[in-house]
Amino acid sequence: MPELPEVETVRRGLEPVMTGRRILQADVRRPDLRWPFPPGMAERLTGAHVVALRRRSKYILADLSTAETLLIHLGMSGRLLISGATLGSFHHPHPAPAKHDHVVLDLEGGARITFNDARRFGAMDLMPTEGAGAHPLLSALGPEPMGNDFHAAYLAARLRGRATPIKTALLDQHLVAGLGNIYVCEALFRAGIHPARLARDLTGAEVERLVPIIRDVLVDAIDAGGSSLKDYRQADGELGYFQHSFRVYDREGQVCVTPGCGAIVQRIVQSGRSSFFCPCCQPQ
């Protein structure tokens, strides 16, 4: 499942191909993904210019010249493919239509964006650009973890008195938007905080430390995604999935990467999700 850095990588890959370009033709090949598409989606997209391409949490938002905004959510298995444009040093010709190609946008300049989603947990919707933040998928989201509204005083206030594990609190999208299992594990490891500690028990110094670490973890991952955009090894122009190197995530049973630590990474299950941590670097 794509997390925030993957979605941001997709946005950055789409930006040079989509921004400022007109959608010459929108081909909507089924009535729905996770939810029904908005009425007349193909007609409402056709002829519109893409004015700006933004991201909120794990949603890509394309502001259109029609005063509407197209929301794109990749869901579990959604993929966006670019063809007919030069990406890095590769030019991907249009592929033959494939199974699960549900929406195809042909853009001015020759590029084609294909939304492929085998499991159909993805979503697309159209809404007025003004007040787009009131969309049901967006309205309850907390601040962006890399934005100015996410700071130590805010986080401290939201953790105060909270009797849930810090891991669970950070996955709460009302508290902070777009953080997922992988990057919460990585941030808690870098901050030396055990994932099962209660949110209310974190010290002021730990909260101060955690906020810039969360930002760094995401920035590092986005940078890794950025390098993957530069050298398109994937033959099909697919955006957003790249090689990660995690310090603790998915490393159960391996030696901790902290120099001189020597402890073995452990895994516990919290709220149905795996948490990976070093019992030495992250004492309970």
Q: Tell me if 280 contacts Zn ion by CB under 5 A.
A: yes
Q: Under a CB-based contact definition with an 8 Å cutoff, are residues 117 and 33 in contact?
A: yes
* Contact map string, positions 241 to 270, toward Zn ion, x by CB under 5 A: ---------------x-x--x-x-------
Span from 10-18, 149-157, 169-177, 272-280 in contact with Zn ion (CB under 5 A): 272-280
Alpha helices per DSSP H over 75-165: 152-159
Amino acid letter, residue 208: E
Q: What are all long-range contacts of 273-278, with beta carbons under 8 Å and residues at least 24 apart? A: 273/171, 273/181, 274/181, 275/167, 275/181, 275/185, 275/195, 275/196, 276/185, 276/189, 276/248, 276/249, 276/250, 276/251, 276/252, 277/185, 277/188, 277/189, 277/194, 277/195, 277/248, 278/189, 278/248
Subset of residues 38 to 97 that bind Zn ion, contact rule: CB under 5 A: none
CB of 122 to Zn ion, least distance (A): 38
Whether 143 is catalytic is: no
Least Cβ distance, residue 266 to Zn ion (angstroms): 10
Q: How far is the CB of 169 from Zn ion (least distance, A)?
A: 23
Q: How far apart are CA 130 and CA 114, in angstroms?
A: 27
Q: Should residue 281 be labelled a site residue for Zn ion when binding is judged by CB under 5 A?
A: yes
Confirm whether 273 is a catalytic residue: yes
Question: Nearer Cβ to Zn ion, position 19 or 258?
Answer: 258
Q: Which of 95, 267, 273, 279 is catalytic?
A: 273
Give the footprint of Zn ion on this chain (CB under 5 A): 256, 258, 261, 263, 278, 280-281
What are the binding residues for DNA?
A: 100, 119, 162
What are the binding residues?
A: 100, 119, 162
Which residues are known catalytic residues? 2-3, 58, 273
